[in-house]
Amino acid sequence: MASITLKNIVKKYDDGFPAVNDISIDIEDGEFVILVGPSGCGKSTLLRMIVGLEDITSGELLIDGERVNEKAPRERNLAMVFQNYALYPHLTVFENIAFPMRLAKGKFSEDEVRQKVNRAAEMLELTEHLERKPANLSGGQRQRVAMGRAIVREANAFLFDEPLSNLDAKLRGQMRSEIAQLQRSLNTTSVYVTHDQTEAMTLGDRVAVLKKGELQQIASPRELYEQPANLFVAGFIGAPSMNFLPGTVQRSSTGSTVLSTPLGEIELPEETARAGEGRDIVLAGIRPEFFEDAATLDSARKARGSILRAQLSHTEWLGNEQYAYVPYENDPRVAEALQNLAHEMDADDLRTQLVVSVDATSRVRGGDTAELWVDTRRIHLFDPATGENLTRDAEAGAELTRMAAEDRKRDAERMAGQHN
Amino acid sequence: MTATADNVPAEQRSRRDRREVQAVKSDRAKDEARLGWLLAGPAFVIMLAVTAYPIAQAVFDSLFSYRLTAPDERSFIFLDNYILLFSDWVFWSAFLVTLFITVVTVAIELVLGFALAMVMHRALKRIRGPLRTAILVPYAIITVVAAFAWYFMFDINSGFINKWFSWVPGISAELDWFANTGTALTVIMAAEIWKTTPFIALLLLAGLAQVPDELLEAARVDGATRWQLLRRVIIPNMKAAIMVAVLFRALDAFRIFDSVFIMTYGDAGTEVLALLAYRQSISRLEIGLGSAVSVVLFACVLLMCFIAVKMFKVDLASGTDTGGAQGGGEK
Amino acid sequence: MSHTAKSRLGWIIVTAVVLIYSLFPVAAIFATSFKTPGDLGNQTFWPTSWTWENYEMIFVGDAQGLFLSALRNSIGITLIATFIAVVLATLCAYAIARLNFPGKRLILGGALAVSIFPVISVVTPLFNLWRTIGLYDTWLGLIIPYLSLTLPISIWTLSAFFRQIPWDLEQAAQVDGATQWQAFRKAIVPLAAPGVFTTAILAFFIAWNDFVYGISLTSTEAARPVPAALAFFTGASQFEEPTGAISAAAIVVTIPVVVLVLLFQRRIVSGLTQGAVKG
């Protein structure tokens, strides 16, 4: 168990390109931190610097307050689960799990080794497979062996490098929850790299979003979702992605504030409007789930939002939910900014269409002109030039992250209670 | 790893084809077999003709007392040639010298070759090309030329080694390296090691390249020291490559001929089996006795193969054979 | 930063050691080939004065008869043997990689067995047989046994190469409108050619290197190749060692080898490792 502190970490390669640029993160003992971002954002490099497989160009890495920049990986007492599991093909499952203990010659008796391996195997439901070679295991079992190897280390921290990316979707979901439970029950500090925002949101106590080697925001999943720091975080977190609708804040003669968009006017709460007022153009960040088919709502809820009338191009019915798509003419003033954003997120060109989540029972169809209700209180406004979130409530955000930390500590106490 | 990946579809394909053959027993399958042998046949027949026939003839000849200079006196003496051979110290000396050369050179080459392979494996891209080129020179050079090069270096008249290393105890201007067994074998083995280490190194390099980097990183994180990394991860994962390299080289070393012929012609107690066979049959035209030596040499090589395959489970056909089981590959 | 400087120095040293290891004996015989008869006895590495004398001796002087005919024999026999071996091995490897027929493993196993065969064990009967049927001391008498040296490795190397060719391309090309012959020529030949070429280089090295057959199955300038001829060099007088002439001749036959290595090192390495191990 240990805390990990990254202080202004920089990684520059020989060509001078900074793969990781000035990143500082404090990881508390027992915390599960996710590093997430599109490919090439430096998340894997950062993880490999923590474990010692990459040199740190500048900055300081502390484990439990002790500087470890110069230490070899084996001196850091960390355990890592690799993307391809890195199981030793010549060893049985048992010996694979026992491997770290075998390396520490004389530190463990044969009995101890057996006991620890068996306990880990039990935890991971590998007991029947202990004598098999990795080549004869399924993807999920290999994944478990890799975790078993990490468990027996009693390492200061677990590091995961995209451990689920080689599994199929169904297994991924299952392993995801297994990893979450395991981490909670062992209460071991964990750093987990992924490009998959679902993994990030479901696993992390806190999630660090990286872009081009720079830390965009580190916060609890809920804070990232509700109070994103900028356009990139807002777009990267959440699926389907947040819609970015260009518009200008205007004050009508009656004193109410509206956002004038290519799809018509949306009434804005006073506070939101004030943040965007006086600007030539802003991007309104509206998540698909902020919308609803007005026809399916009661009047009380309807009153708390604004109504848009728009023609749908097509709809997708998924059983538990339904998406409707609304094309619109993009504003040339923001086209480039959105193009860049799509590029940074590793996505194809952003289509200029609104993705709208409506109730599964809604009967809107492609071609219809529907009345769409939007929850205006949750709309964020972004500066298209800088990407900055103009309406971010830092205090509310911090509160969300504080709550997540409390939840984690409560979990840990509950676990400790069970063990005693 | 590519080997494994490449093999999978091939394996599947051949399996599927086999099913088809069984199910249909079609003319197409027969045609394919005919075409296969039509294409592969000539090469196969020539290889067999130039080796199988002569070795059978050699076994036959070895049972006769047969001198080419006196063909009329040829007579069947059954195993007398072998009895003569096995009771003669000349044969045993040649046998032991051959064995000694084989063991020593292969052992040294393995260590040296491994070091070279490591150097090439870890070298930066920029110097990998030049290193490979340099290392290929000894491999590709004619053995006889290499033997002369080493011979001239150590020669008592023209060589510079005696002068350069005169400060080493035991080496002086008067030292004739080729006059006694120990020093002569040293130079012969040095030449042999110099020439063939690159081959081992290249085979080991191919083996090294198949140990995934991720495995090494995992072991480092798991707490392995450099030595543990080598012993517990690298070597076990390239065991197949090591065994094949050792076997190939051992078989090759056991057939040593060129260097000894050039440097000492078997004098000073450096006679080896191949040279003994050559001298009996080609120089002295004692076809019967010479054939017996040839057959013994052949038997030794077979025995080495047999031991390697049966006891050390060396899969010589691994990887290049579609049906062959692939060891190790996990992905 | 001192770390990288140190490792750079380390690499320079390692590279230097490997270069010296690989090239030192070659440099030694190269230097010797330029020594005057006087220099040959003075135990130095470099000649005190450089001379073409030794090369003159083997190209236009006393050793001319011995060397030039041997060089002609070596080149002719080696090239012919290499060519035949590569053609036969290409057909054979194609069949092994592409077709399914009983006896495939037998052929591969047979090739392996032949490659570990001690040459000296078969040379005596061949010597006898060649004398009987008149192949002794002829080009053909060497080309045939050279095939047994070059065919096995050619078959193995080419089989490995051919297995990696995506043969589906042939069908894809046909679907795209090529005739069967066009498909083979445009899609397969360009992919197969590098492998065939590499195999030819390896086969050349092996045939070029032969000594046992060369010395056993020839007796005159009619067919004796260079490695065998080197052993028959004599000095200008009985008491003079032919060191200079041998060195010069050795350098001449090493030149093609070094040129091939310089030009094709990458391919040679891939060919060698592909045919031999894949474990």
Fold for the domain defined by B80-311: MetI-like fold (1.10.3720)
Every domain of chain B and the residues it spans:
10-56, 80-311
Instruction: Name the closest residue on chain B to residue C216, using Cα atoms.
Output: B282
Neighbours of chain B (3+ CB pairs under 8 A): A, C
Please report the pLDDT score of residue C182 as a whole number: 76
Please report the pLDDT score of residue B5 as a whole number: 39
Residues B182-212 have pLDDT tens digits of: 888 999 999 999 999 998 998 888 888 888 8
Q: Which of B54, B207, B258 sits opposite C126 (nearest CB)?
A: B54
Helix axes C139-163, C104-115, angle to 10 degrees: 130
* Interface touch A74/B221, C-beta < 8 Å: yes
Tell whether C92 is within 8 A of chain B (Cβ): yes
CA distance linking residue B150 with residue A271, whole number of Å: 91
- Residues of chain C with confidence (pLDDT) below 50: 1-2, 277-279
Q: Which two tokens stand for residue C182?
A: 């066009």
B80 burial via Cβ count (<10 Å: 0-12, 13-18, 19+): middle
Cβ neighbour number for residue B35 with a 10 Å cutoff: 15
CA distance linking residue C123 with residue C141, whole number of Å: 11
CA distance linking residue B88 with residue C107, whole number of Å: 39
Least confident of A193-197, A266-270, B173-177, C197-201: B173-177
Residues of B in contact with C226 (CB under 8 A): 142
Phi, psi of B81 (to 5 degrees): -60, -40
pTM of the model: 0.79
Please report the pLDDT score of residue C238 as a whole number: 52
Closest CA to B219 of A164, A68, A104, A182: A104
Beta bridge partners, B70, equal: B67
* Interface touch A90/B225, C-beta < 8 Å: no
Q: Which of A84, A104, A149 sits opposite B214 (nearest CB)?
A: A84
Q: How would CATH label the architecture of C64-232?
A: Orthogonal Bundle (1.10)
Tell whether B325 is within 8 A of chain A (Cβ): no
Q: Is the peptide bond before A288 cis (omega within 30 degrees of 0)?
A: no
A193-217 average pLDDT score: 92
Residues B18-71 have pLDDT tens digits of: 444 455 557 777 777 888 888 888 888 888 888 888 888 888 888 877 777 777
Residues of B in contact with A79 (CB under 8 A): 221-222
Q: Which of B214, B228, B237 sits opposite A103 (nearest CB)?
A: B228
Residues A333-373 have pLDDT tens digits of: 888 888 888 888 877 766 788 999 999 888 888 888 989 99
* Interface touch B221/A79, C-beta < 8 Å: yes
Tell whether A86 is within 8 A of chain B (Cβ): yes
Q: Break chain A down into helix, strand, coil percent, rounded to 5.
A: 35, 30, 35
Please report the pLDDT score of residue B315 as a whole number: 63
A199 contacts A164 by C-beta, under 8 angstroms: yes
* Cβ–Cβ pairs < 8 A, chains B and C: 337
Q: Helix (H, G, I), strand (E, B), or coil: what is residue A90?
A: coil
Categorize the per-residue pLDDT at B317 as very low, low, confident or very high, splitting at 50, 70 and 90: low
Highest mean pLDDT out of A21-35, B42-56, B63-77, B132-146: A21-35
Neighbours of chain A (3+ CB pairs under 8 A): B
Tell me: pLDDT of B6 over 90. Answer: no
Every domain of chain C and the residues it spans:
64-232
A207 contacts A195 by C-beta, under 8 angstroms: no
CATH 3.30.70.100 fits A4-226, yes or no: no
Please report the pLDDT score of residue A282 as a whole number: 92
CA distance linking residue A397 with residue C145, whole number of Å: 84
Every domain of chain A and the residues it spans:
4-226, 233-392
Distances (CA, A) of B47 to A170, B44, B110, C214: 56, 5, 30, 18
CA distance linking residue A328 with residue A245, whole number of Å: 9
Percent with pLDDT over 90 in chain C: 11
Please report the pLDDT score of residue B328 as a whole number: 30
B93-100 average pLDDT score: 92
Supply the Cα-derived Rg of chain C in whole angstroms.
23
Which of B35, B137, B172, B283 is best to mutate for the C interface (most C CBs within 10 A)? B137
A280 contacts A333 by C-beta, under 8 angstroms: yes
